[in-house]
């Protein structure tokens, strides 16, 4: 045991070792904690490094500018993306793109349309000037012979022009960039002319308040014409002698466009040095065009006149032949569709076309069809035998002719039956039965939907009369003054009823019935009711009636009168005279509406 203790090294107690380690850790945290936190954050940022939109947005504009200054590789790489973005934008928002470019293209489009209209009018005026002359006839023959438009031939013979000078002028400064002249033209101070044109342009813009893009397009001085083509950075002024052709403007504008495309940077950065524009001379010399008239021998005028007459005669014959054929075709179509006409054959007889067949007497006249289509009746004859057509159209025509219905009656054909609808008088309805069955192709007649207006009026008057009542005072047979007015109304109804009865062939009996109240004895009431009925009958009997017969009768006490004792006012409606229509006999019994069948 002792040897063991001697050989073991001496070590501090365990508790003291632990305490020392903890103190060192605490001391290290106190001294290095902030730096440690920063190191941990840097390590985390490096481990998860991502460039965000904010960092890129801060450096992107400067990066693009610096890269574009080095070479065009960045621009070349952005072209496809820009094209796709522009195409997508146009597809999604075409109106936005249209609104954006409208201010730029609007002026150019207006100028192009204006120029086209002027050039068209110029060509039209020249064409009309020569169209009716002998020279114009020769040129028309040439146009037909060569296959070219007549307008082009006129321009070819009438245009005489020569481009004498061209001035290329810087638009912003008004300085002359280059100048060319045709052979034989002497120089007259091209710099002064350039300045003059610029001054005129500025004067016009200031006077009429035009924009920089607008300006003069042409000037005319005697037989010299100055055409001015406007460009974005340069102006091309052309001095022309004579009448220039329409296409010359396109040549000048194309030349100016080519100069802008090739010398774009020089025009934009122009500082007064015109040496670089000496190379534009070939472009300008190409515009020094000239055109001269060459006499050509034409055909004799007499030959042309003869050809024109022959063509006119040929055209007249072709027109009338075509019109004649169209009229004949239309006539055959019309007569074939017309009911009541049957064409069996068409033959040529003595230079005329003769139609054979049958025709119903009620069918349309074929001569009328010829007149409607405009075909000559002298060239057509008809041999049509009469017959009775049983088609619905012809049966309907025959029914209208036989029955002669009033406007208020509609006649229709359903198979072999005539159907009448509407309203008519009793007299017309009475004779329909006798005449309808005589129509060929008709075996039945239906009048179920036909209203007899006389019967309707008769029933209306009958109801109006039976609703009338004339009242008397208690215990009296004399009419009060106010009831005398009613008797006139009743008399008017009786007169109208008498007229309707005559129309219907009826004899009528009108019962004039008198009534009294239950007050008093039965015998007195009966006598009083008879007295009242006769009093009214005497008033209504004049003037006499044709078929009406009036009879007075006393009915005594009104069975429907009020019987409440002590209420005298309740008996007022019982002391009256009323009327009843009784049909004695029918002179001509009317037929009832319905279906009639033939024998």
Q: Give the tens place of pLDDT for each residue, 138-154.
A: 777 888 888 777 766 66
* pLDDT of 480: 86
* pLDDT of 567: 46
Q: Report CA dihedral (271, 276, 279, 281) to the nearest 10 degrees.
A: 30
> Residue 227 burial (CB < 10 Å; 0-12/13-18/19+)?
buried
Q: How many CA atoms lie within 13 A of 220 on its CB side?
A: 5
Spatial contact of 191 and 178, defined as CB atoms under 8 Å apart = no
pTM metric for this prediction: 0.41
Name which of 350, 352, 357 is nearest 380 in CA terms.
352
Spatial contact of 339 and 363, defined as CB atoms under 8 Å apart = yes
* pLDDT of 415: 84
Q: Give the span between the Cα atoms of 292 and 158, in whole angstroms.
A: 9
Residue 24 token pair: 């060192």
Q: How confident is the model at residue 9 (pLDDT cuts 50, 70, 90)?
A: very low
In 366-461, DSSP assigns E strands to: 380-386, 409-414, 417-424, 444-452
Highest mean pLDDT among 78-82, 137-141, 339-343: 339-343
* pLDDT of 467: 92
Q: How confident is the model at residue 51 (pLDDT cuts 50, 70, 90)?
A: low
* pLDDT of 3: 40
298 or 163, higher pLDDT: 163
When mean pLDDT is compared across 58-62, 163-167, 446-450, the lowest value belongs to 58-62
90-106 tens-digit pLDDT: 777 777 666 666 555 55
* pLDDT of 564: 38
* pLDDT of 64: 77
271 or 214, higher pLDDT: 271
* pLDDT of 581: 92
Is pLDDT of 257 > 50?
A: yes
* pLDDT of 578: 92
DSSP 8-state symbol, 168: E
Q: Give the span between the Cα atoms of 371 and 545, in whole angstroms.
A: 59
What value, to the nearest 5°, has the Cα angle with vertex 482 and ends 476 and 487?
85
Residue 77 token pair: 């790489």
Segment 553-563 mean pLDDT: 75
Highest mean pLDDT among 25-39, 296-310, 532-546, 585-599: 532-546
Q: How far is CA 269 from CA 172, 194, 263, 283, 460, in A?
A: 11, 20, 10, 21, 108
Is pLDDT of 579 > 90?
A: yes
Segment 42-69 mean pLDDT: 72
Is pLDDT of 113 > 60?
A: no
Is pLDDT of 364 > 80?
A: yes
Name which of 488, 564, 563, 550 is nearest 514 in CA terms.
550
Is pLDDT of 387 > 80?
A: yes
Q: What is the mean pLDDT of the chain?
A: 77
Is pLDDT of 172 > 50?
A: yes
Q: How confident is the model at residue 427 (pLDDT cuts 50, 70, 90)?
A: confident
Domains and CATH numbers, the chain: 17-46 (no CATH), 53-92 (no CATH), 109-291 (3.30.450.70), 303-386 (3.30.300), 455-586 (3.30.1330.60)
Is pLDDT of 590 > 50?
A: no
Segment 345-362 mean pLDDT: 87
Segment 532-541 mean pLDDT: 89
* pLDDT of 87: 79
């Amino acid at each position: 045991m002792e040897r063991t203790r001697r050989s073991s090294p001496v070590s501090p107690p365990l508790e003291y070792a632990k305490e020392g380690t903890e103190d060192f850790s605490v001391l290290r945290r106190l001294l290095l904690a902030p730096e440690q936190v920063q190191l941990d954050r840097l390590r985390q940022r490096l481990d998860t490094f991502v460039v965000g939109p904010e960092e890129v947005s801060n450096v992107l504009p400067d990066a693009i500018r610096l890269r574009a200054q080095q070479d065009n590789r960045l621009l070349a790489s952005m072209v496809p993306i820009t094209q796709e973005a522009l195409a997508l934008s146009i597809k999604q928002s075409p109106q936005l793109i249209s609104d954006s470019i409208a201010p730029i293209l609007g002026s150019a489009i207006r100028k192009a349309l204006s120029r086209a209209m002027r050039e068209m009018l110029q060509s039209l005026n020249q064409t009309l000037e020569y169209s009716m002359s002998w020279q114009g006839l020769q040129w028309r023959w040439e146009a037909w012979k060569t296959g070219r438009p007549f307008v082009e031939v006129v321009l070819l013979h009438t245009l005489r022009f020569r481009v004498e000078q061209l001035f290329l002028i810087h638009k912003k400064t008004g300085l002359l960039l280059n100048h060319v002249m045709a052979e034989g033209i002497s120089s007259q101070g091209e710099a002064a002319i350039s300045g003059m044109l610029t001054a005129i342009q500025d004067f016009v813009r200031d006077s009429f308040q035009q924009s920089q893009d607008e300006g003069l397009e042409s000037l005319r001085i005697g037989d010299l014409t100055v055409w001015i083509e406007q460009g974005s950075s340069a102006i091309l002024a052309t001095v022309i002698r004579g009448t220039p052709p329409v296409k010359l403007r396109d040549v000048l504008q194309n030349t100016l466009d080519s100069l802008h495309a090739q010398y774009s940077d020089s025009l934009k950065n122009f500082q007064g040095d015109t040496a670089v524009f000496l190379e534009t001379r070939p472009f300008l010399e190409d515009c020094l065009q000239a055109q001269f008239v060459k006499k050509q021998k034409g055909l004799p005028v007499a030959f042309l006149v003869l050809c024109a007459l022959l063509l006119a005669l040929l055209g007249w014959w072709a027109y009338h032949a075509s019109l004649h054929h169209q009229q004949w075709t239309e006539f055959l179509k019309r007569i074939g569709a017309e009911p009541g006409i049957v064409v069996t054959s068409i033959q040529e007889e003595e230079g005329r076309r003769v139609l054979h067949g049958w025709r119903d007497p009620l069918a349309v006249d074929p001569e009328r069809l010829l007149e409607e289509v405009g075909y000559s009746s002298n060239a057509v004859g008809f041999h049509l035998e009469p017959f009775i057509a049983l088609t619905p159209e012809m049966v309907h025509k025959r029914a209208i002719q036989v029955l002669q219905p009033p406007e208020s009656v509609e006649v229709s054909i359903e198979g072999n039956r005539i159907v009448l609808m509407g309203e008519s008088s009793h007299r017309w309805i009475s004779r329909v039965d006798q005449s309808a069955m005589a129509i060929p192709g008709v075996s039945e007649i239906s009048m179920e939907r036909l209203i007899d207006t006389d019967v309707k009026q008769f029933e209306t008057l009958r109801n109006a009369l039976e609703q009338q009542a004339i009242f008397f005072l208690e215990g009296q047979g004399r009419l009060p003054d106010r009831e005398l007015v009613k008797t006139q109304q009743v008399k008017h109804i009786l007169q109208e009823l008498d007229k309707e009865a005559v129309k219907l062939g009826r004899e009528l009996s009108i019962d004039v019935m008198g009534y009294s109240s239950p007050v008093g004895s039965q015998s007195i009431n009966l006598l009083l009711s008879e007295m009242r009925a006769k009093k009214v009958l005497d008033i209504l009997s004049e003037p006499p009636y044709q078929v009406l017969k009036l009879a007075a009768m006393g009915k005594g006490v009104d069975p429907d009168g009020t019987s409440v004792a002590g209420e005298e006012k309740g008996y007022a409606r019982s002391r009256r005279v009323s009327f009843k229509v009784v049909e004695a006999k029918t002179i001509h019994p009317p037929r009832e509406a319905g279906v009639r069948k033939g024998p």
